[in-house]
Amino acid sequence: MLPILLSRNRCAACFRQFNKLEHLVEHMRVSYHSVHEPTCGICRKHCRSFESLREHLIGPLPKQECKNIFSIRGCKFCLAIFESSYALRVHQERCQLSGLNAGVLARLANLGIRDNLSMDNIGRARGSQVVALACKMVGGGIDGSLDVCARVCLIDENENIIFHTYVKPTIPVTNYRYETTGIRPEYLRDAMPLRQVQTKIHDFLCNGEPMWRIRPKGGRARILVGHGLDHDLDRLQIDYPSVMIRDTAKYPPLMKTSKLSNSLNYDIQTGIQDPYEDCVATMRLYTRMRSQNHRVEDYPLAADPQNRNNFAAWRQSELERMNPDQMLEISRSDYYCWCLDSN
């Protein structure tokens, strides 16, 4: 068979090879490839997640040509490729710093920090509109398996603590989970009541905007960053619109596709943790994702009304006349890429 025929049925994004053109068209209709997918800086292959890009560049089972170049000029933190090993060194110092062990920073930041910091002075502040939230849960219920929020932290984009407090549980605590929470009964005895914590956080997030008017762009409400926020917000009994939520556990490029490796060097830590560390880790992950340098498109989402059914709108015969690059050109993302928050 001629190689040219083979490459005609090859997906321009993930490089999957199809026997028949109609199968490639079918693949393009459902895969929502886009410029927002993690992409190899060498061969331009699109991956579903940073984890699969890491496998492609580092292993297990890397693509050898890409691995060879990556090992000389590739950043092992953000997986970008640089012009020279010098350019890589300059970049990597900064990149590594932004992934610095959050535990060290927590201890630094905690010097001079009191729990139960007041949000009153920052409540209407301009500037950073992105905040990260994390909770620590203790156990309730007969077997102690029910998560009960006992500590909560909120930081701004510069990793300053906005709010950091113990929360008085509304039901009896049957397991303090001390090995991971470091929480003792006496810390919660006179802690802030849940109701008050809820109100403070909710008001701070909405920032004076009524809930029904909250919209992703141009409003005063804040973007909320976290890991597994559904659970945190559920335990705190806080309602917040999903358009304002950036959850590192639900962002497709950061989702784990297997248990082989960790996406971007941010491991869920073990041992006693301060929720501040979780806030810092997720905030850094968010700002790194937001700073991705992707091509700007007028209507970046497949779900944007202007693009609705961008593939369905085309007749099969029209699509079959396109080459793989042209098909990729009209394909749009099925998730909201966080780079879109930056413009």
Decide: is 256 part of the binding site for Zn ion (CB under 5 A).
no
Within residues 69-108, the interface with Zn ion by CB under 5 A covers 75, 77-78, 95
Find the binder of Zn ion among 132, 155, 328, 339 (CB under 5 A).
339
Distance of closest approach, residue 63 Cβ to Zn ion, in angstroms: 5
The rounded distance, in Å, linking the Cα atoms of 35 and 44 is: 10
In eight-state DSSP terms, residue 175 is: E
Binding of residue 294 to Zn ion (CB under 5 A): yes
Q: Which of 148, 188, 194, 337 binds Zn ion (CB under 5 A)?
A: 337
Per DSSP, the residues of 18-75 read -SSHHHHHHHHHHH---TTS-B-TTT--B-SSHHHHHHHHTSSS--HHHHHHHHHHB-
Q: Please choose, out of 8-16, 117-125, 129-137, 192-200, the segment that lies near Zn ion by the rule CB under 5 A.
A: 8-16
264: contact with Zn ion by CB under 5 A: no
Which pair of structure tokens corresponds to residue 169?
């549980």
Identity of the residue, 43 or 100, whose beta carbon is nearer to Zn ion in the bound complex: 43
Please return the burial class of 11, using the count of CB atoms within 10 Å of its CB with bins 0-12, 13-18 and 19+: buried
Provide, rounded to whole angstroms, the least separation between the CB of residue 11 and Zn ion.
Answer: 3
Closer CB to Zn ion, residue 222 or residue 288? 288
Q: And the tokens for 99?
A: 């992934």
Q: Does 284 bind Zn ion (CB under 5 A)?
A: no
**From the CB of 59, what's the least distance to Zn ion, in Å?**
13
328 binds Zn ion (CB under 5 A): no
Closest CB 77 distance from Zn ion, rounded Å: 4
According to CB under 5 A, which residues from 43 to 62 bind Zn ion?
A: 43, 45
**Whose Cβ is closer to Zn ion: residue 194's or residue 289's?**
289
Q: Which residue has the tokens 């994004």?
A: 13
Using rule CB under 5 A, residue 11 touches Zn ion? yes
Identify the residue whose tokens are 């219920």: 141
The whole-angstrom separation of Cα 4 and Cα 254 is 35
Q: Residues binding Zn ion: what is the number (CB under 5 A)?
A: 17
Residue 14 interacting with Zn ion (CB under 5 A): yes
What contacts 204, CB < 8 A, 6 or more positions away? 119, 122, 123, 131, 154, 162, 163, 222
CA distance 278 to 71: 30
Is 50 or 240 the residue whose CB approaches Zn ion more closely? 50
Q: How far is the CB of 252 from Zn ion (least distance, A)?
A: 11
Q: Which of 40, 131, 183, 328 binds Zn ion (CB under 5 A)?
A: 40
Check if the beta carbon of residue 88 is closer than 8 Å to that of residue 73: yes
Of these, 36, 54, 177, 200, which contacts Zn ion (CB under 5 A)?
36
Angle between helices 194-206 and 229-236 (to 10 degrees): 130
Give which of 60, 58, 35 is closest to 46, Cα–Cα: 35
Q: Which of 24, 25, 42, 327 binds Zn ion (CB under 5 A)?
A: 42
Binding positions for Zn ion, rule: CB under 5 A? 11, 13-14, 31, 36, 40, 42-43, 45, 66, 75, 77-78, 95, 294, 337, 339
